[in-house]
Structure 1
């Protein structure tokens, strides 16, 4: 499952890129199904990897190539491990501290 591979990324950039691509495919799938069931009135949509389409097919293939590239280099690239950045523990990606939500992009790994 791509979501499991996305969670195992050691790099924050790899995690964010793979999450964006997976969410794009999920949104395309949900919009296609809802359009075919009559809930959503849109122009013809293409189902990723199944429907024939000109620009949509080329765009989806480019996204898949980028996703495979991220998954291929995911085990090789890690972020630098810093103990503390500005007094904040950098071991977590998203933190809630003193009424603030802190997204640490220099995190070592995402758990």
Structure 2
């Protein structure tokens, strides 16, 4: 006569309505999270892509810059060779004893007049 099971506090129709409403809210919530996650990943992808492209654009020297750098390198090497050759020439032109050259006064004055 008496039902000894769990008492039913809500009608079946109301219970069904609330369950379907909760499922629908859960679906909307998951769709919202999914959209936010996708937008976040899209923004991250664009940020990484643009950063990479800017790095590649700014990082690579142009042909003119490469030619200028090569020319500067060649000039540097040539100047070092010239300095080395002039140092060797000076060493070979020095006296064997290393004594300074003697100049008389007339040669010194004559050289000063010519150079000025």
TM-score interval for Structure 1 and Structure 2 normalised by the shorter chain: under 0.3
Higher RCO (C-alpha 8 Å, min separation 6): 1
| Structure ranking higher in strand proportion | 1
| Structure ranking higher in helix proportion | 2
**Rg larger in structure:** 2
Q: TM-score, normalised by structure 2?
A: 0.24
Q: TM-score, normalised by structure 1?
A: 0.25
